[in-house]
Amino acid sequence: MNRLALFGSNSIVKLKRFWTDVINDYKEVAVDTVNNIRTKPAKASKYFTGIGLAVAAIWLNPKEVDFQERHLEANNIMVLVSKPIKNPVSEKHVDHINSLYSDDRIRYTSCLFLSFMWKDNFCREVGLYESQCSYLKPSLRKFYDRIEDIGFWGKWWIYEEKMKDFDVSPAEWSDTSVLNLGVVNPRGFTIS
C-alpha cells in the first residue's frame, strides 16, 4: 500500500499549509520586531538590557557547591586567625553553619535568579512523625526566619557581610587610651 494512500493526500496538503503558515507568522514577527527596533531604539535597548541582565543573573546564580566552597574558605581562614583578634560575629556565624552541616539541617533552594541556604528542623534521615507530617512543616510566611544566606549575582551576600573584618575584634579597639592619641596633620599640629 502506498504511504500517500495511508495518510491521504488531503492530510499532507493540510500539513504543508500548516507549516507554511507557521513559518510566515514567524517571518512577520521578525520583520515587525526589526521595524520596532529601528523606530524606537531607546525602548528596544531597555528591553535588551533587561533581558541581558536577567540572563546574566540566571547564569551567575550561585549553587550549593559555591556556598560549601565559601564556607570551607571562611572556616580555614578563621582557623588561622588567633583568638584575641577574631571578630566574634564572623566566628559565631562560621560555627553556626558548621553545626547546621554537622546536623545535616542546612538546605539549598534555587529560584532561578536567587538561591537560598536555609535551615530545616530535622535531618533528612529522621523518621519522626513531626518531620514527616506536611501540616507541621514550616510555612512560607515564616520562611524568612530560616534563611541563612541569599545567593545572587555569583555571591553569597550574608556570608560576605558576616566575614567582613573577620580579623578585627571590636574588643581589641574598645580601650580608649589607645584611641586618644590624636591625629597629626601635615603641618605638625596635633588635632584632638
Closest CA relative to residue 153, chosen from 62, 23, 75, 19:
62
Average pLDDT over residues 28-36: 89
Average pLDDT over residues 44-70: 90
DSSP 6-37: HH-HHHHHHHHHHHHHHHHHHHHHHHHHHHHH
pLDDT at 25 over 90: yes
Bridge-based pairing of strands 114-119 and 147-152 is: antiparallel
Q: How far apart are CA 118 and CA 158, in angstroms?
A: 12
Average pLDDT over residues 17-30: 92
Average pLDDT over residues 156-174: 81
CB 62 within 8 A of CB 115: yes
- Residues of the chain with pLDDT > 90, as a percent, come to 15
How open is the CA angle 138-143-146, to the nearest 5 degrees? 95
Query: Is the entire prediction scored with pTM above 0.75?
Result: no
pLDDT of residue 169: 77
Determine the residue type at 45: S
pLDDT of residue 26: 93
Q: How far is CA 103 from CA 13, 92, 125, in A?
A: 65, 16, 11
Average pLDDT, the chain: 80
Bridge-based pairing of strands 106-111 and 114-119 is: antiparallel
Q: How far apart are CA 131 and CA 123, in angstroms?
A: 9
pLDDT of residue 177: 45
Q: How far apart are CA 14 and CA 10, in angstroms?
A: 6
Q: How far apart are CA 140 and CA 59, in angstroms?
A: 26
Q: Minimum mean pLDDT among 42-51, 70-79, 152-161, 180-189: which range?
A: 180-189
pLDDT of residue 2: 53
pLDDT at 190 over 80: no
pLDDT at 27 over 90: yes
pLDDT at 178 over 60: no
